[in-house]
């Protein structure tokens, strides 16, 4: 593999690994903040222990999210120097703002939150975790605005041999960026909701701290239900933006080869990229794709064959990732709806099968989040900035293949070790449960 391929692989590895931990951080910070605020409002120790128990899991997860984030910021310069040079004038700004406005906030106040339980009033203390939640979510906003520039570049002119920023507000208020922000962040809330519901199910099944975990489950179910509905809706808006501004990505997502009007949705289809067609198309719902993409059931959608081959993204990966992600999105709505209903009727304990399903569903939102990034980033290929710069032109010129190969191997090795340790600890501390709470119940 050449330097471009290795650098892409390394970026994929390090960013996808980073994004194992980020979504839970995004959502669980908010849930812990909700638990702690309920403690402040209701003055019930149960909620304090909930904030502490879920907070501990939050911290184990948070540690790896933070440190793997540094890699990403360094990597633009390390591996993608030509890209950084070409778009740094506009792309660097949101990253610097992210650090200054958001990352400081979350990193400073998380330390304070851990160490100040007995130093400040409980109201003040709950305020700290809200600041952390705000910081993590703002942090994601700026990163996603930066990413949105790579998808749909705005606010720049080509001058002095590079893309220079001329309109900061176009960058900051990019509708593409804000939809991406909503879609991505709220998908993190689903990860957290399913994490809390899954771990709670584990304990309810074993009749550990049942009251504690039923309350956790119920709050997470509401959180998950609202989030999964919003994610699907926002995803739909997102798709329209893609159809408008990234036609090659959209055609790959839906595996549309021929330009046509009134494009139907094939519930089952199997793309065959070598033949430039779908080998199977089954269960056709007329005009749905056109309607979703253009708001007009007879709207025209450009097929892949109308683009030169060197401008098309890998179809199979984009298509499959998109399909599975969407399917999972609907499953999330269904599961959280059932979960909320059973919580409300206080019938969780009797439905052991459902609890088991929820336990084993913990990985599903993680998978959906990863697939979403595959759609976004693989679907963007062959561009590093859509329509503006090709990925192969963005790579650093001074690196040797062996240098990148070695770093890739080391990243793989070290991340594997750390990932295993982190997941081991998450399992361990999830299973232990809120020990102090037992004492209180007794």
50-69 positions binding another protein, by CB under 8 A = 52, 59-60, 62-64, 66-69
**Residue ranges in 185-244 that form contacts with another protein under rule CB under 8 A:** none
Tokens of 348: 């969780």
**Residue ranges in 397-436 that form contacts with another protein under rule CB under 8 A:** 397-399, 403, 407, 410, 414, 418, 421-422, 425, 428-429, 436
CB 164 within 8 A of CB 157: yes
**Residue ranges in 116-155 that form contacts with another protein under rule CB under 8 A:** 116-120
CB 136 within 8 A of CB 63: no
Please name the residue that has the structure tokens 């549309």: 256
391 binds another protein (CB under 8 A): no
Shortest CB 359 distance to another protein, Å: 22
Return the number of other C-beta atoms located less than 10 Å from residue 95's C-beta.
18
Shortest CB 441 distance to another protein, Å: 17
x/- letters, 152..181, toward another protein (CB under 8 A): -------xx-x-xxx-x-------------
Cis amide bond preceding 382, omega within 30: yes
# residues near another protein by CB under 8 A = 73
In the list 2, 41, 45, 104, the residue contacting another protein (rule: CB under 8 A) is 104
Spatial separation of the C-alpha atoms in residues 357 and 354, rounded to whole Å: 5
Shortest CB 10 distance to another protein, Å: 10
- Window contacting another protein (CB under 8 A); options: 99-107, 177-185, 234-242, 292-300: 99-107
Shortest CB 286 distance to another protein, Å: 49
Spatial separation of the C-alpha atoms in residues 12 and 321, rounded to whole Å: 15
In the list 1, 96, 268, 283, the residue contacting another protein (rule: CB under 8 A) is 96
**Residue ranges in 308-337 that form contacts with another protein under rule CB under 8 A:** none
In the list 78, 317, 331, 423, the residue contacting another protein (rule: CB under 8 A) is 78
120-130 burial by CB neighbour count: b if 16+ within 10 A, else e? eeeeebbbbbb
Q: Report the alpha-carbon angle 350-356-361, nearest 5.
A: 135
Closest by CA position to 138, among listed 109, 93, 112, 99: 99
The dihedrals phi and psi of 193, each to the nearest 5 degrees, come to -60, -45
CB 354 within 8 A of CB 361: no
20 binds another protein (CB under 8 A): no
Closest by CA position to 127, among listed 54, 26, 27, 36: 36
Closer Cβ to another protein, 14 or 227, answer by number:
14
Shortest CB 13 distance to another protein, Å: 14
Shortest CB 167 distance to another protein, Å: 9
Spatial separation of the C-alpha atoms in residues 357 and 229, rounded to whole Å: 20
Shortest CB 257 distance to another protein, Å: 38
């Amino acid at each position: 593999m050449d330097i471009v391929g290795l650098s892409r692989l390394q970026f994929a590895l390090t960013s996808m690994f980073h994004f194992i931990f980020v979504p839970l951080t995004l959502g669980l910070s908010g849930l812990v903040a909700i638990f702690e605020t309920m403690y402040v409002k209701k003055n019930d120790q149960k909620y304090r222990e909930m904030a502490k128990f879920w907070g501990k899991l939050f911290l184990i997860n948070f540690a790896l999210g933070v440190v793997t984030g540094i890699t990403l910021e360094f990597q633009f310069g390390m591996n993608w120097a030509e890209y950084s040079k070409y778009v740094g004038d506009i792309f660097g700004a949101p990253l610097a703002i992210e650090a200054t406005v958001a990352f400081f906030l979350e990193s400073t106040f998380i330390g304070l939150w851990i160490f100040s339980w007995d130093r400040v009033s409980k109201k003040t203390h709950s305020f700290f975790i809200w600041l952390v939640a705000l910081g993590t979510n703002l942090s994601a906003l700026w990163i996603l605005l930066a990413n949105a520039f790579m998808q749909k570049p705005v606010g720049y002119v080509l001058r002095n041999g590079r893309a220079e920023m001329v309109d900061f507000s176009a960058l900051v208020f990019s509708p593409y960026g804000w939809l991406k922000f909503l879609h991505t962040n709220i998908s993190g809330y689903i990860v957290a909701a399913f994490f809390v519901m899954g771990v709670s199910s584990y304990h309810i099944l074993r009749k550990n701290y049942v009251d504690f975990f039923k309350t956790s489950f119920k709050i997470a179910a509401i959180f998950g239900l609202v989030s999964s509905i919003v994610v699907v809706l926002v995803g739909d808006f997102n798709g329209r933006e893609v159809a408008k501004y990234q036609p090659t990505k959209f055609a790959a997502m839906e595996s549309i080869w021929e330009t046509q009007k009134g494009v139907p949705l094939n519930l089952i289809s199997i793309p065959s990229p070598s033949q430039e067609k779908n080998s199977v198309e089954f269960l056709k719902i007329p005009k749905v794709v056109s309607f979703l993409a253009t708001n007009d059931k007879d709207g025209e959608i450009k097929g892949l064959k109308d683009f030169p081959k060197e401008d098309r993204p890998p179809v199979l990966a984009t298509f499959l990732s998109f399909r599975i992600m969407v399917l999972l999105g609907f499953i999330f709505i269904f599961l959280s709806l059932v979960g909320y209903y059973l919580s409300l009727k206080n019938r969780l304990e009797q439905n052991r099968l459902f609890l088991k399903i929820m336990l084993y569903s913990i990985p599903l939102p993680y998978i959906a989040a990863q697939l979403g990034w595959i759609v976004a980033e693989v679907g963007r290929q062959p561009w590093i900035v859509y329509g503006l710069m090709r990925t192969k032109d963005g790579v650093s010129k001074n690196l040797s293949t062996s240098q990148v190969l070695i770093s890739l191997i080391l990243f793989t090795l070290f991340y594997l070790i750390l990932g295993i340790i982190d997941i081991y600890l998450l399992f361990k501390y999830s299973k232990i449960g809120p020990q102090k709470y037992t004492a209180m119940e007794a």
